Structure formats: structure tokens, C-alpha cells
A and B are shown apart, each in its own frame.
Chain A
Amino acid sequence: MQEYIKKFAEQAEVALRNLPAEEIAKAINILHACYERDGRIYVFGNGGSLALATHWVSDFNKTVFSNHLEKESRKFQAVRLPSTESELTAWANDLGYDMVFVGPLRNYLQDSDVVVAISSSGNSPNIVKAVELAKSRHVPVIGLSGFDGGKLNELADAKIKVVTPKGEYELVESIHGIVFHIMTRYFRDYFNHVAKRFEEQHHK
């Protein structure tokens, strides 16, 4: 039993060691630029990846600013798509599952926005379709994928690919969770730093 557990931990360690730090840094810069222009961040994925999207949205909209929720006048505007179950089922039932992300995204998407797409295989048709819409509008795409990255990794501007053997969903999704937490932590520390600097300058 312990060996089984350790084996997973070891595989996770390997995947973490090979984390594409440069691509994560690029993603952070894309998010930063979006913040500067007051754009919105649309996040989506299927199944466990949709759960990751929901988790990250709450972290990003609130946790990042936890230490100065009142003071910071402008915050991130991350939105999980679709934002309601009604929309999800309406698109899926009426037009098909490949429309569940691109459908709502088409309603919302502005030139100043960013898209974060999560797909372990990188080939889910509904994800690829939504990413293609963003690309056609030159909206920056952050792609979190696994295995060999698939089509998502090809299309994304920031290519966060967790390289694993094909089918290792648990591993990929776990590492995706860590990548999201790195981004949350980076911006939380950044805004704390900005607030500290501001205070120092005004209490000189």
C-alpha cells in the first residue's frame, strides 16, 4: 500500500521538477497586462478541470487581495465559463457539448480579455473550439495541458504543459492545481509588496 502511494508521489515529483517555469512566467505577465488594462479572465475546463477553474477563480478574485480587500480599488475579474449550470445545459442540450465554452465566450469576449483553458489531453473539442475563437480575435490564451499537450498546447500563447505518459489525468490535474496556486501566490505577494511600498513612501 505505502509503496503504491509513494510511487504516485514520485511521479508527481518528476512532473514538478519538469514544470515549465518560463511558460508560467509568461502566463503571469499575460495576467498582469490584463489587470493593467482592466480586462477579464475567462477560465474553463471539463470535469475535474472545471472544478480547478472554479477553485482558481475564487482564489484569484479574493485570496490574492486578502490582506487589503478594502484598499485595493481594482481587482482581478476572473470568470468561470459557463458561469451557470443553466447555460451549460442549454448549450449542451440545444447545440451540443462542443458549444458549452465557445457559446458563452462569444457573448462575453472583448479585445482586452484573457482566456485560460484547462485540458489534460489538450484535445477536448469544446476547449479547442473556444481557444480558436480567442485566437481569431488575438485574445491571449494561457493553456494548461498534460500528456503531449495536444492542440491546446499548440495554440496557446503561454504553453503550460505537464508532460506525463498519456492518460495520467490525476497526475496532470494535481500539478495544474499547483500551477494555479503559484499564480495566486505570486500576485498575492506582489500586491502585498505594492501595498508595503506605498505605505513606506507615505510615512517617510
Chain B
Amino acid sequence: MIVVRAPLRISFVGGGTDLPDFYRRSPGRVISTAIDKYVYLVVNRTPLIDKVSARYSIAETVNHPSELQHTRIKAALLDMGIHKNIEIASFGTLPSKTGLGSSSSFSVALMKALHAFQGKAIDKREAAEAASRLEIDLVGEPIGKQDQYAAAFGGFNVLQFNADESVNVEPVLIDYKKRAELESHMLVFFTGITRFASSVLTEQKKNIGDEEKFKTMQEMAESVHEFKEKLLKGDFRGLGEMLHAGWTRKKSLASHTANSIIDDFYDAGMKNGAWGGKAFRDGGCVMFLAPLENHEAIRKAVTEVARANNLEEFREIPVKFVQSGAEVLYNADHLHKLSL
């Protein structure tokens, strides 16, 4: 048996510039951090059972991976030539579709685990590349590459996406005091709204042709440097204000990025003293940076928005940053191979 885990992430600025339509014209850049919420993947060798089994929100047992419903497990197994004698199960700290990158964390963990299953150790970069290839090339999802790299590398990073498909990962070396302070100024809420990430991104992609919007994206990629500088200085108000500017810019890009409920959430936070914030992807989560004395008021206000919209799954998610990336926690598969 092999156990792998990969963290989810919080991205601050630059989201969307990791799409090929943009970074092939101008370098894309995202600043993000891994958080203490994980996707866990278990892969088990079943030498006496000639089947493929995948267990996630449902359980599938099939004779050949081509019969699987789970698109990414199916594509990965077919691509790697694993056709039988395997069980794959996934577990998560959070529900899926929070917008915190869990689907790519899953892919990175899957790549790490399946390579270990074949007796190959892959490093962080290889895991990120393999997961990007799986999601974008093999499955054809219209997504970028930031989440795969954030999950594979862990920690706080500036990711740069180059036209030649290479990705630079530059760690942001902040000490524990600033990290803890940023954590304590941050509020993250799961809105309870769950939709697919691809819908918004498709629209954003479509719009990049427009020269003015391309310029806006360039500004977003550029602002990553400023965000990093403010972070290293511990200027949390400045960071919040940059998030707010990013939110405003992003709204100008894709007309339906946020539906009106997400606007309500965001406005509730801003009216109650947040410096700034953002919604993740289709609004699975909203996040605020705010002075500590305003946290209670913001909590109350957003809870009220959730209640008014009957979002029963709404809750606050306490978040801490982690250094860990995608990691094999346990690998006893070689023992299994010896005994059979």
C-alpha cells in the first residue's frame, strides 16, 4: 500500500495568468501558499484481483480502466499502462469544489502515487508536470497550471509561467512571525456554493483576445512582485488593498466571475471593515484580510448572507500555511512485491 498526500492552496494574486493563451504572449505569475488541508490518496496492489477499483464520492470496480467514470483516474491509468490489480481511494479534509485547488492536489497526489506504484520516485517538478499534462493534455480541462505547482511544491511561492511551458518556482522566504500574523489577519469562508471551475475560466480565456483585457492581465502578473514585497515587510493592510484591486480587475475581465451572491458575501466583508479579499474560482470560498478588531463583525455579516441564501454548508475554515508539498507518507508496496 502507498499513501500520498498533497496540500490545497490559497492563491493571492495573478490567478488566470497561468492559462496558455496569456503566458504564451507574456509571462504569467501567481503568488500562493499551501495550506493545512490535504487530499489523501491510497493506492493498493491487489495481485489476486484482476480489476481496477476507484473509490471517491462513489465506488467503481471495473475490468479495464477505460470503463471508469472518473476522468482523471481513467486517463492516468490508461496513459501509464496500469490495467488491473489496483485499488485507488481518495480522502479529503475539505469538500471538493471549494476553489482551493483540491482537484489539482488530487492529480498531483495521483501522479506521485501511481509512479511510486510503478517503483519510480518522482520529484516535485515531475509531479507538477505530470499532473498538468494529465489534466490539461490528457483530460482536456480548460485550466491553468498554478494549482499543480502549488500542490507539488508546498510552501509560499511565486510561480512564473513561461511561453516555453517551463515554470519557475521561487520560494517566498517569510519567517514564522509574519506567516503567523498573516494567518491571523485572514478569514476564509466556505460559501456552500459549489459549481465547476471550468465555466468561469472558459470565459476568461475567451476574453483575453481583447487587447485592453490582456493589458489588465499583464498588470495582474506584474503586481505579484509588489505583493511579495509587501508580504516580506508585513504590510497586511497593503496586501488587503492589493487583493481588493485584484478583485476589481478580475471583475472587469469575466462578466460572470462572481454571481450576485458572491458579490453579497464580498460586500458584507468590505462593509464591515475588511481591507480587501477575493473569491476563489466560482465562489466556493471567499477570503478576507482584515484588522483583527473587525473579524467578529465580518463573521456575523457573511453568516447573515449565507442564511439569507439558504447556504446550509456555509462555514468558516480556519487556515494555516504549510511547507509540505505532495509527499509519499507511507510506501510498503515493495514489501508486497517481495512476498508475492
Minimum CB distance partner of B183 in chain A: A197
Contact of A33 among B122, B154, B176 (CB under 8 A): B154
Once the chains bind, are B323 and A36 in contact (CB under 8 Å)? yes
Binds A, one of B85-93, B255-263, B280-288, B324-332: B324-332
| Interface assignment of B155: CB less than 8 Å from any CB of chain A | yes
Contacts of B171 in A (CB 8 A): 26, 29
Minimum C-beta distance from B254 to chain A (A): 35
Once the chains bind, are B323 and A111 in contact (CB under 8 Å)? no
Contacts of B327 in A (CB 8 A): 33, 37, 111-112
Once the chains bind, are A33 and B322 in contact (CB under 8 Å)? yes
| Interface assignment of B123: CB less than 8 Å from any CB of chain A | yes
Which size class do A's interface residues fall under?
20 to 34
- What's the dominant secondary structure at chain B's contact region? mixed
| Interface assignment of A110: CB less than 8 Å from any CB of chain B | yes
A186 to B330, CA, bound (A): 28
Contacts of B323 in A (CB 8 A): 29-30, 32-33, 36
Minimum CB distance partner of B331 in chain A: A111
Contacts of B176 in A (CB 8 A): 186, 189-190, 193
A173 to B154, CA, bound (A): 32
A33 to B180, CA, bound (A): 16
A36 to B323, CA, bound (A): 8
| Interface assignment of A68: CB less than 8 Å from any CB of chain B | no
| Interface assignment of B177: CB less than 8 Å from any CB of chain A | yes
Contacts of A29 in B (CB 8 A): 155, 171, 173, 323
A186 to B173, CA, bound (A): 13
Once the chains bind, are A22 and B173 in contact (CB under 8 Å)? yes
Contact of B121 among A22, A137, A190 (CB under 8 A): A137
A30 to B171, CA, bound (A): 11
Once the chains bind, are A26 and B329 in contact (CB under 8 Å)? no
A122 to B181, CA, bound (A): 38
Contact of A36 among B121, B123, B324 (CB under 8 A): B324
A186 to B174, CA, bound (A): 12
Minimum C-beta distance from A104 to chain B (A): 18
Contacts of B116 in A (CB 8 A): 111
| Interface assignment of A106: CB less than 8 Å from any CB of chain B | no
- Given A26-B173, A111-B328, A111-B331, A36–B155 Cβ distance below 8 Å? no
Instruction: Digitize B293-337: 1 where CB-to-A-CB distance is under 8 Å, 0 elsewhere.
Output: 000000000000000000000000000001111011111000000
A65 to B129, CA, bound (A): 38
Once the chains bind, are A193 and B322 in contact (CB under 8 Å)? no
A196 to B228, CA, bound (A): 27
Residues of B at the A interface (CB closer than 8 Å) are: 5, 36, 116, 121-123, 154-155, 171, 173, 175-177, 180, 184, 322-325, 327-331
